[in-house]
Amino acid sequence: MGFSGRAQEYIRRVEATLDRYLPAADEPPQRLHEAMRYSTLGGGKRIRPLLVYATGEALGVPCERLDAPSAAIELMHAFSLVHDDLPAMDDDDLRRGRPTTHRAFDEATAILAADAMQPLAFGILASDPELLPFPDAQVRLVATLAEACGSNGMTGGQEMDLAAEGRRLDAAEIEHIYRLKTGRLLRASVLSGAHCAPGTTVDMYHRLERYIDALGLAFQIQDDILDVEGVTEQTGKRGGSDEANCKATYPAVLGMDTARRRAAELLETALDTVSDLGPEFESLRWTADYIVRRSG
């Protein structure tokens, strides 16, 4: 199977897992469950699950064991999008080409749907049958996901992002926000794949961290480039929405050329980190390409 075919297969797997774990839309409270399904199953690039599967594949982990961590991480990502879109935050009407959850339902339901997606994510890690024989891995998966999403990770990054609105940041400040807001959960995706492989060495963990920290930043800069280019069809957001929200972005501060060059350099760094590893690590190489070049 070609790389694109494998990506499609992984995306199919995580969507099937999410569908299986999300409560049915006709189970009460229906409106809440509808909103949870709407927020999670409405498309998306599924970058984080791809990273879980690609890392697990490189380390010889059976696919079935990776379904739960992939779904859990994607739920946390979807949770953060629902809250980021709220009127009190970015106040966005459109996400993935459809009305945002608070627009499609109402604000209270959007807050609560996302609130319920967090425990669902942690609950999946603690109860998925494929993981139950590995309690040490389960504990590490929970710890890694928790750390990535807390006030020193994704949520802290969003707070800093909001606090920075309208203020002029330099490249280092922007990269710091990116690393928290997006980078930490991307890193958790790769580490989670590694947690599922018994006997992953400390050296391998360090190498994977260097890989994803470079790749994660490249991905975020690329995402901002797409936003500036106004590719609503690709990103599903209104083109230029970052600009409209006075968000400090890499291209806005350093210009498009520098941004493009930085993304390319970071992609090279990520690829270099895994270039001397065996053919089984091919999965990490094509995933890096796939993620950064997806619409470049």
Secondary structure (3-state) at 286 = helix
Q: How far is the CB of 283 from a second copy (least distance, A)?
A: 27
Q: Which of 98, 103, 140, 260 binds a second copy (CB under 8 A)?
A: 140
Of 136 and 203, nearer to a second copy (C-beta) is: 136
**CA-to-CA distance for 256 and 152, rounded, in angstroms?**
29
The Cα-based distances of 287 to 57, 196, 292 in angstroms read 11, 19, 9
With CB under 8 A as the contact rule, the residue among 4, 8, 151, 275 that binds a second copy is 151
Rounded to a whole number of angstroms, the minimum distance from the CB of residue 264 to a second copy is 31
Q: How crowded is residue 219: how many other Cβ atoms within 10 Å of its Cβ?
A: 25
User: Binding to a second copy by residue 147, rule CB under 8 A?
Assistant: yes
Give the count of beta carbons closer than 10 Å to the beta carbon of residue 209. 15
Rule CB under 8 A: which of 190-209 touch a second copy? Answer: none
- Shortest reach from residue 55's CB to a second copy, in Å: 20
Q: Which segment (102-110, 200-208, 227-235, 287-295) binds a second copy by CB under 8 A?
A: 102-110
To the nearest whole angstrom, how small is the minimum distance from the Cβ of residue 31 to a second copy?
A: 7
Q: How far is the CB of 21 from a second copy (least distance, A)?
A: 11
Judged by CB under 8 A, does residue 246 bind a second copy? Answer: no
d(CA 184, CA 162): 18
- Both tokens assigned to 245: 């929200």
Query: Per CB under 8 A, does 123 bind a second copy?
Result: yes
Residue 19, interface with a second copy (CB under 8 A)? no
The answer to the question of residue 28 lying near a second copy (CB under 8 A) is yes
Return phi, psi of residue 160, to 5°.
Answer: -65, -40
Q: Residues interacting with a second copy, by CB under 8 A?
A: 23, 28-29, 31-33, 36, 79-80, 83, 86, 88-89, 106-109, 111-113, 115-116, 118-120, 122-123, 125-127, 132, 135-136, 138-140, 142-143, 145-153, 155-156, 158-160, 162-163
